Amino acid sequence: MADTEAARLTNQPHETRARLRALAMDLSWSWREVRRRPFQMLDIRAWEATRHSPLGTLAATDDDRLKSLAAGAAFMGALDAAEADAGAMPAPHPFIAGQSVAYYCSEYALHESLAQYAGGLGVLAGDHLKQASDLGMPLCAVGLLYGHGYYRQELDEVGRTRVGLPHIDRATLPIQPTGVVIACPIGRRQVHAQVWRMRVGRINLYLLDADLARNRPEDRELTLGLYRGDPLLRLRQQVLLGVGGAMALHALGERPTVHHLNEGHAAFASIELLRRAREANPEGTCDEWLDSVRAQVVFTTHTPVPAGHDRYQHADVLRELGPTTRAAGLTAKALASLGREHSGNAEEPFCMTVLALRTCRACNGVAALHGEVSREMWKDIEWGNQPPVAISSITNGVHVPTWCDPVASAFWRDQCRIDTAANTVAGQGWDRAEQVDRAALWSLRSMLRSRLVQFVRERCSKSALSRGEGAAGALRASQLLRDDALTIGFARRFATYKRAPLIFHDVDRLAAILTSADRPVQIIFAGKAHPRDLGGQAYAQRVFEMTRDPRLEGRVALLEDYDMEIGRLLTSGADLWLNNPIRPMEASGTSGMKPPLAGGMNLSILDGWWPEGFDGRNGWAPSPAPEGADADATDAHDANELYRLLESEIVPMFWDRTGGGLPTEWLDRSAHSAATVPPRFGTVRMLAEYSRVYGILGE
Ligand SMILES: *Cc1c(COP(=O)(O)O)cnc(C)c1O
């Protein structure tokens, strides 16, 4: 009686709100389900409408609702459990005292409610931070806060991309002002940027925001969106990221011993560090200052695609970066030679990757094959009197607590004592997946697949309605796909080298595979092309058209507006994950590391991480196209290989139910995939390797 009375008296909605707000401000809810649960209980519709935003959902919940929830044991229990979890961080891994890392990246994919990413680079950066938090690594990160994020993709009635640029309300973002405003020299102007802090568990992510009234209108645009605008805007954006990022960290009192440039976008940070080296040692020489910069910088390169390496006119770089260049004691010629492979070649534009290579002490590609390709790509750099930088490789990984679906996590825990939340170097015990009960694994697969099919139907019905296809269109979408068909997933950026429509190379042959009466197969696609990539948009349109092709009988679906939520549902629901880039253009790829966490398998070209991951029994790999084949011949070869594997091995194996109604051989492979991929392609292994390069790990 007294307890209820006390509860009633303390049931003040503002108190509950304050507790929820405190929880929402630490992004560890994005990978620890127990911390999300109270928000889901607030208002499930608002939760869905805000793309699972805790602050957005809280804002949509009124005091009466909070009061009535707080009177119930279920909600208060969930809130208490979430808070208890927030206090229960694992002990940090021992790192060398006094050493710390600053991580620079142009995008961070932390959660679908924060649209600050375009694709794999952002996902990798987000996963890096989450893993650094789990390990208690001394690391902070810096980036830009984009006013409208990347973009929202809608496909019109013929499948053309419509670019939506919604303004993101800062009040619904889990960010706090730091009180620091920097003035970054760009051209002749001082561009001001307010620095926000986002808490990613134990890690601080600092985000620069130039949308301030005191800036000129064109400077306010610098943090409007990701990878938008003309080259000049992009160049200025990169000055803000690199120079401004380094300035912001310094102003905040961060004194990192290592600056990690994740991709060349932030390479101008090196020039700001050079300026500082000169300031600290005015009597020194430029070579000495450069050596001291190199001692602090490490660089990860991310793409073998030439267009992926930013190149600018020298005059533009010199103008926009002028004040920092001069303060760093660099002549125009010296700056130019830092951005050129051959310092004497006046024809060569200024390349951000070359700048990063010339100003770092260590560089890595993101898979073994990508390391090889990168060494070849940059082998002609003239190093002059500087020792050449070796390019090694550190293969990417995924943050298991983020990408392992809660249903799958519970399954592995109950079945095999695999602890996906215990995300430390001690390991999670994935080798035990090999012994998993096959019937139970099949139930898990069936459940995750049905859930995905349901999700696709709902999403596609909504899209049909908003496209103006009326009730008939929505009805058609609601009948797409089947619960039991072998489900193939393909989702990633629709960059052309990833060849989203390759599987439609021979539509009739594919139709025979998909529409078999007793062994049906279906494919679900999702992906955005860059707003300026018309080739990629044409690929999206081609996939869209295939969803309407009568020969394929509704066995192909395309989800609009690919994001992390779709990524999670698709990688856990798909039985088979398809990846068919033009080899060797895929630096690593990470999406294929996700399905094995839920018992799915890969069918992938031997590119990126897959040559390291594939062991002959944990998925499939087409034989490589002949060396030197042209683009058309390569497409034909690769498509033919995909059909051959599907027809002769994959589909028959999935549909062989002679073993007591179960696809026994399929499930053996699936268990083997779970036992072999996650332990090697998680961010735990990846950060252990980076820690060695950073020099923050004792031997
Ligand atoms: C995992 C993931 C990626 C990476 O895809 P790849 O092309 O295979 O590297 C991109 N976007 C999202 C949303 C993801 O979840």
Nearest CA to ligand 1 atom 9: 589
* Mean pLDDT in residue range 536-542: 98
Residue 508 — very low, low, confident or very high, per pLDDT cuts 50/70/90?
very high
Position 426 scores a pLDDT of 72
Question: For the chain, how many helices (H) and strands (E)?
Answer: 30, 19
Average pLDDT over residues 631-648: 98
Average of per-residue pLDDT values in the chain: 95
The Cα 151–Cα 221 span in angstroms is 15
Atom of ligand 1 nearest to the CA of 579: 8
Residue 321 CA to ligand 1 center (angstroms) comes to: 33
* Ligand 1 midpoint to CA 416 (Å): 28
Protein residue with its CA nearest to atom 3 in ligand 1: 120
Tell me, in angstroms, the distance from the centre of ligand 1 to residue 490's CA. 10
Residue 1 has pLDDT above 50, yes or no: no
Q: What is the pLDDT of residues 177-191, one digit of tens each?
A: 999 999 999 999 999
The residue nearest atom 4 of ligand 1, judged by CA position, is 120
Task: For residues 496-524, give the mean pLDDT.
Answer: 97
Which of 114, 580, 591, 609 has most ligand 1 atoms within 8 Å of CB, for mutation?
A: 591
423 alpha carbon – ligand 1 mean position (Å): 21
Candidate from 107, 569, 590 with most ligand 1 atoms within 8 A of CB, to mutate: 590
Mean pLDDT, range 231-259, rounded to an integer: 97
Ligand 1 atom with the shortest distance to the CA of 588: 9
Residue 621 has pLDDT above 60, yes or no: yes
Ligand 1: residues whose CB is within 6 Å?
A: 119-120, 123, 492, 563-564, 567, 589-591
- Cβ atoms of 57 and 46 within 8 Å: the answer is yes
Contact 369, 607 (CB under 8 A): yes
Which atom number of ligand 1 is nearest to the Cα of residue 563? 13
Considering only CA atoms, which of 338, 334, 336, 324 is closest in space to residue 275? Answer: 324
Pocket probe mutation, ligand 1, options 30, 493, 578, max atoms within 8 Å of Cβ: 493
| pLDDT greater than 80 at residue 4 | no
Answer whether 150's CB lies under 8 Å from 226's CB: yes
Mean pLDDT of the region 534-550? 97
Distance CA 600, CA 592 (A): 9
pLDDT in tens, 263-277: 999 999 999 999 999
* Interval between CA 413 and ligand 1 midpoint (Å): 26
Confidence of residue 344 (pLDDT cuts 50, 70, 90): confident
Q: Which atom of ligand 1 is nearest to the CA of 491?
A: 5
pLDDT of residue 581: 98
Mean pLDDT of 46-55: 96
Q: Which atom of ligand 1 is nearest to the CA of 568?
A: 15
Retrieve residue 452's tokens. 């995905």
Task: Look at residue 402 in the predicted model and tell me its pLDDT.
Answer: 97
Rg (alpha carbons) of the chain, rounded to whole number: 26
92 Cα to the center of ligand 1, angstroms: 28
The pLDDT value recorded for residue 326 is 97
pLDDT of residue 7: 56
Please tell me the distance between residue 172's alpha carbon and the centre of ligand 1 in angstroms. 25
Residue of 107, 116, 123, 593 best suited for mutating to test ligand 1, as the one with most atoms within 8 Å of CB: 123
Segment 410-415 shows an average pLDDT of 96
The confidence band for 9, taking pLDDT boundaries of 50, 70 and 90, is low
| C-alpha of residue 177 to centroid of ligand 1, in Å | 30
Chain centroid offset of residue 176 CA: 23
pLDDT above 90 for 567: yes
Judged against a pLDDT cut of 90, whether residue 2 lies above it is answered with no
Which of the listed residues 302, 402, 492 should we mutate to test ligand 1's pocket, taking the one with most ligand atoms within 8 A of CB? 492
Helix axes 13-24, 33-42, angle to 10 degrees: 140
Task: Return d(Cα 313, Cα 293) in angstroms, integer.
Answer: 24
pLDDT surpassing 50 at residue 565: yes
Measured at the alpha carbon of residue 111, what is the angle toward residues 109 and 114, in degrees to the nearest 5? 80
Task: Give distance in angstroms: CA of 591 to centre of ligand 1.
Answer: 5
Per-residue confidence at 307, pLDDT binned at 50, 70, 90?
confident
589 Cα: distance to centroid of ligand 1 (angstroms): 7
- Closest residue CA from atom 5 of ligand 1: 591
How far does the centroid of ligand 1 lie from the alpha carbon of residue 121, in Å? 8
**How many CA atoms lie less than 13 Å away from 699 in the CB half-sphere?**
0
CA distance 130 to 7: 36
Report percent pLDDT > 90 for the chain.
Answer: 89
Q: pLDDT category, 698, cuts 50, 70, 90?
A: low
- Using the mean position of ligand 1's atoms as its centre, give its distance from the Cα of residue 120 in Å: 4
Percent of the chain with pLDDT over 70: 98
Burial of 498 per CB tally in 10 Å (0-12, 13-18, 19+): buried
Residue nearest to atom 1 of ligand 1 (CA): 591
CA of 493 to the centre of ligand 1 (A): 7
Q: Is the pLDDT of residue 8 over 70?
A: no
Which pLDDT belongs to residue 78?
97
Closest C-alpha residue for ligand 1 atom 13:
564
How large is the average pLDDT for residues 385-413? Answer: 96
Q: Can you give the pLDDT at residue 292?
A: 97
Tokens of 339: 């951005």
Q: Which atom of ligand 1 is nearest to the CA of 403?
A: 15
Ligand 1 atom nearest residue 594's Cα: 1
Collapsing DSSP to helix, strand or coil, 102 comes out as: strand
Under the banding of pLDDT at 50, 70 and 90, the label for residue 229 is confident
Q: Ligand 1 centre from 585 Cα, in Å?
A: 15
Find the largest Cα–Cα distance for the chain: 86
Encode burial over 423-456: b for 16+ CB neighbours within 10 A, e otherwise: bbeebbbbebbeebebeebbebbeebbbbbbebb
Q: Which of 468, 316, 406, 430 is nearest to 672 (CA)?
A: 430
Could you identify the atom of ligand 1 that is nearest to the CA of residue 498? 7
Overall average pLDDT of the 123-147 stretch: 97
Question: Relative to the CA of 398, which ligand 1 atom is closest?
Answer: 1
Structure-derived torsion over alpha carbons of residues 631, 633, 637, 642, reported in degrees to the nearest 10: 50
d(CA 600, ligand 1 centre) in Å: 16
pLDDT bracket for residue 118 (50, 70, 90): very high
> Which domains, from first to last, does the chain contain?
20-78 (no CATH), 101-141+226-397 (3.40.50.2000), 400-681 (3.40.50.2000)
Looking only at the bridges linking them, the beta strands covering 391-393 and 486-491 are unpaired
Name beta bridge partners: 364.
300, 392
Packed helices 664-676 and 438-466: angle between N→C axes, nearest 10 degrees: 80
pLDDT of 6 strictly over 60: no
Distance from Cα 593 to the centre of ligand 1, integer Å: 10
Residue 119 CA to ligand 1 centre (angstroms)? 6
- 231 has pLDDT over 50: yes
Measured from the CA of 562, which atom of ligand 1 is nearest?
Answer: 13
CA of 590 to the centre of ligand 1 (A): 6
CA-nearest residue, atom 11 of ligand 1: 119
- Report d(CA 228, CA 216) in Å as an integer: 18
Average pLDDT over residues 281-307: 94
